[in-house]
Each structure stands twice: as C-alpha cells, then as structure tokens.
C-alpha cells in the first residue's frame, strides 16, 4: 500500500519524504551479523572502529509481529518463500560443443570466442562482514555475481540499410574492449555473444564499487563480479534490441549455473558504482534505469537496498533520483540508515560518518593489499 501511494507522488523528493515517514520504524537492519573475533588487527584500526563496534554489539530490540513483517518487506523485498526459491535456482546448463571459435550450450547460448584474451588471473577476493570490523569474513575466488554494463559506444540506426555500419561499429567496439580488457562478455546489437576477457581472469569494469549478499560485502568488483556489456547507450534504452535481451537471458542462465550465482547478485553498474571522493553513489550510471530484469529472467533488483548506502553511508542527490526514476532500493537503504541511527540515538549524519569511516578503512586495506601484490588496482 505504501509503495502504491508513493508511486502516485510525482515529485521524487516528496516521494522520498513520504516513504521515510511511512516507514519510520525504529529497528536495526535485518541482515545483521555479529562481528567476528579476530586475531590480527592493527591497534589503530581497532581504535578507529570502537564506535562502530559498540553499535554492532548492541542487542536487537524485539519488535511486534507487524513491525517485523514491515521490516522484512523493506529490507528483503523478495523474502516470501516460493518466489525467492524460484529466483534462487537455475536449471543446470551444460556445454554441448566447443571449438577454437565457438561454444554452444544446452539452453541455446552460443558464444563467439574469436576475441578471447587473458588479463590478470582473478585474485582471491575478500568478503567483508555486513557490520562490524574490516577483517574479511572469508576469501573467495569464484565469481560472486554479474555486473551489467552498456558500452556507451557509437550506435547506428537498427535498420537493414545500416547493416554494414552496424557490423563495423560492433567490430570496433570488440577491438576496444579487448584492448582495454574491459568486460568478460559483449552482446552486440544482433544478439551475438562474444567472450572477451576469460572467465578465469579479472576484467577492468567496475572500479570503485560495492555490493552485498547474505554472505557479506564485496568492495571493488573487478575480481569478484563478471562483466556483461550490451552494445548500447545509457540515454537510449530503446536501442537495446530484443535479440540482445534474449542473449542476455541465456548467458545469465549459463553463468549462474556454472558459478552458482544468486539472482540478487546480478545487478547493473549504476547500482554498484560509488565515488569515494564525494562519498556518493552512481559515479557510473550505465543501466541506471530500465534494465529489463524480468526479461533477462531475474527479479527486479532495483528494489534491493544498496549496501553502499546502508553499510557504508554513501549518499545520493536529487539529480540521481531523477536520473534513475528512484529505485525502491535507494529509499529502502536510506531508510535503514535513518532507522538504525534513530535506534542507536545517534544523529543520522553522525551514524553515516561512522559507516563512511568503515568504508575508508576497508578501501585503504584493499589498496594496501593490491600494492603488496604488485597489482594495478
Ligand atoms: Zn559500466
């Protein structure tokens, strides 16, 4: 009901204000974990984390049943059993045939390998706790998710008369992507799927970025998430062709099957991108709106609360709301921060500053580790 009323409010700022008021429930975030005990943390880090540690250790209050239901609806939009299970699994997809140039899969996916190159091998990447310190919960080395991009390259009208130009532009794009090791997969406007950077390697696609699932938070997703790019432009969602969407669906199925990727970890660049300089989200805005989640066989992940906001205190401005037409996940995440701050009796700005401080600690540790490894971050 709240959603419905909110969608009737045209002005995005008013809408946010309404949602904030309507969902004013003083209870901490639902996806919380106890901080882990750990042996090896420098004293300066421990000191810096004291205020956050105190917050993370505060016991949860007990809410009324109604509060709990509302809370769950807000933080985990698809928590109702049957639907979550339906999105949660994909049928097993297997490789039917492969050659130097082509891979064919049991769901009809066909991958062109002629542009395939290596980059640096995928590094083991840390997964950080949703709350608490900056010590990883675990290290992983298989892809945890998929980030969808648009190529932002030149587009010709999708018309038979422009066939030559369409082919040439697609080819130019593949040359650039290969040169820059920018994405694992490119889907051209005819729906052809090209493997560019090998799955075993990292692609340089996500820069400063954040996403989270029940296991924890992923920071800077080049190693942890695969990149699938549509030949297309952010401002021209209509230029995405039905063939591209059909291919994205079978490619997503195959990758989810191969790496056991949860549906909630298949998200767009705009959803994960952050700018540490101004502590705002959306440094990149490709697929900032109108990603065809349903047609690609995924739940509406725009409704997922953004970990960059609720776990790391990143902010967004009205321009971003306008540009994205206000995803539910933005409001849900901002709301979590406000409620958590209210529950802790800390002004929201101060609570956000604590979260931001934690992000900076983690980002600094990652940078340090990359430099130790001699990697180019
Ligand atoms: Zn992108």
* pLDDT tens, residue order, the chain (377 aa): 555 665 666 655 465 555 545 544 333 333 333 333 333 434 443 344 434 433 443 334 334 444 444 434 334 334 344 445 556 678 899 999 999 999 999 999 999 999 999 999 998 999 999 888 889 999 999 999 999 999 999 999 999 999 999 999 999 999 999 999 999 999 999 999 999 999 999 999 999 999 999 899 999 999 999 999 999 998 888 899 999 999 999 999 999 999 999 999 999 999 999 999 999 998 999 999 899 999 999 999 999 999 999 999 999 998 899 888 889 999 999 999 999 999 989 999 999 999 999 999 999 998 888 888 765 54
DSSP-derived 3-state class of residue 183: coil
CA of 152 to the centre of ligand 1 (A): 8
CA of 94 to the centre of ligand 1 (A): 28
Q: What are the strands, taking DSSP E only, across the chain? A: 95-98, 102-105, 110-112, 125-127, 138-140, 145-150, 185-187, 193-195, 210-213, 216-219, 225-230, 266-268, 274-275, 280-281
Distance CA 168, CA 317 (A): 39
CA of 215 to the centre of ligand 1 (A): 24
Tokens (6 digits) for 247: 């291919």
- Name the nearest CA neighbour of 146 among 266, 20, 55: 266
CA of 149 to the centre of ligand 1 (A): 4
Instruction: Indicate the pTM of the whole model.
Output: 0.79
- Name the nearest CA neighbour of 183 among 214, 218, 226, 217: 226
Please state, as a whole number, how many other Cβ atoms lie within 10 Å of the Cβ of residue 329.
Answer: 22
What dihedral angle (degrees, nearest 10) is formed by the CA atoms of 347, 349, 355, 357? -120
CA of 283 to the centre of ligand 1 (A): 10
CA of 284 to the centre of ligand 1 (A): 6
CA of 134 to the centre of ligand 1 (A): 27
CA of 64 to the centre of ligand 1 (A): 42
> Regarding beta strands 110-112 and 193-195, do their DSSP bridges make them parallel or antiparallel, or are they unpaired?
parallel
CA of 371 to the centre of ligand 1 (A): 24
Burial 226-260 (b: 16+ CB within 10 A, else e): bbbbbbbbbeebebbbeebbbbbbbbbbbbbbbee
Phi, psi of 234 (to 5 degrees): -55, -45
Phi, psi of 59 (to 5 degrees): -65, 150
Tokens 């904030």 appear where?
A: 20
- The DSSP code for 303 is G
CATH value of 2-373 in 3.40.640.10, 3.40.80.10, 3.30.70.2860, 3.20.20.100: 3.40.80.10
DSSP-derived 3-state class of residue 195: strand
CA of 368 to the centre of ligand 1 (A): 25
Report yes or no: 3 and 48 within 8 Å, Cβ to Cβ.
Answer: no
CA of 269 to the centre of ligand 1 (A): 5
Q: What's the angle, vertex CA 283, arms to CA 135 and CA 229, rounded to 5?
A: 95
CA of 272 to the centre of ligand 1 (A): 10
Please state, as a whole number, how many other Cβ atoms lie within 10 Å of the Cβ of residue 67.
Answer: 14
């Amino acid at each position: 009901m709240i959603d419905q009323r909110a969608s009737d409010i045209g002005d995005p700022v008013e809408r946010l204000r309404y949602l904030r008021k309507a969902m004013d429930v003083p209870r901490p975030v639902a996806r919380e974990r106890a901080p882990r005990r750990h042996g090896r943390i420098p004293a300066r880090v421990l000191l810096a984390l004291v205020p956050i540690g105190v917050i993370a250790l505060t016991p949860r209050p007990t809410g009324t049943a109604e509060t709990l239901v509302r809370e769950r609806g807000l933080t985990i939009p698809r928590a109702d059993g049957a639907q979550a299970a339906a999105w949660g699994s994909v049928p097993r997809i297997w490789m039917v045939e492969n050659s130097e140039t082509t891979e064919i899969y049991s769901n009809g996916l066909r991958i062109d390998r002629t542009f395939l190159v290596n980059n640096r091998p995928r590094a083991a990447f840390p997964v950080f706790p949703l709350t608490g310190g900056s010590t990883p919960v675990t290290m992983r080395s298989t892809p945890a998710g998929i980030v969808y991009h648009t190529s932002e390259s030149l587009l010709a009208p999708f018309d038979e008369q422009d066939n030559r130009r369409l082919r040439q532009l697609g080819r130019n794009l593949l040359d650039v992507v290969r040169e820059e090791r920018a994405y694992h997969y490119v889907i051209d406007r005819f729906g052809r799927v090209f493997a560019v950077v090998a799955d075993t390697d990292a692609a340089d696609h996500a820069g400063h970025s954040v996403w989270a699932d029940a296991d924890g938070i992923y920071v800077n997703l080049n190693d942890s998430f695969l990149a699938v790019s549509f030949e297309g432009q952010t401002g021209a969602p209509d230029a995405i062709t039905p063939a591209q969407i059909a291919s994205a669906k079978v490619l997503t199925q195959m990758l989810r099957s191969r790496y056991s990727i949860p549906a909630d970890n298949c998200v767009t660049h705009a959803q994960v991108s952050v700018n540490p300089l101004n502590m705002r989200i959306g440094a990149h805005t490709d697929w900032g709106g109108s990603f065809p989640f349903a047609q690609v066989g995924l739940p509406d992940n725009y409704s997922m609360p953004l970990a960059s906001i609720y776990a790391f205190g990143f902010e967004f401005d009205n321009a971003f709301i306008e540009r994205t037409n206000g995803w539910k996940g933005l409001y849900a995440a901002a709301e979590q921060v406000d409620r958590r701050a209210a529950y802790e009796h800390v002004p929201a700005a101060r609570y956000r500053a604590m979260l931001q401080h934690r992000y900076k600690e983690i980002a600094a540790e990652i940078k340090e580790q990359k430099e130790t490894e001699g990697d180019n971050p």
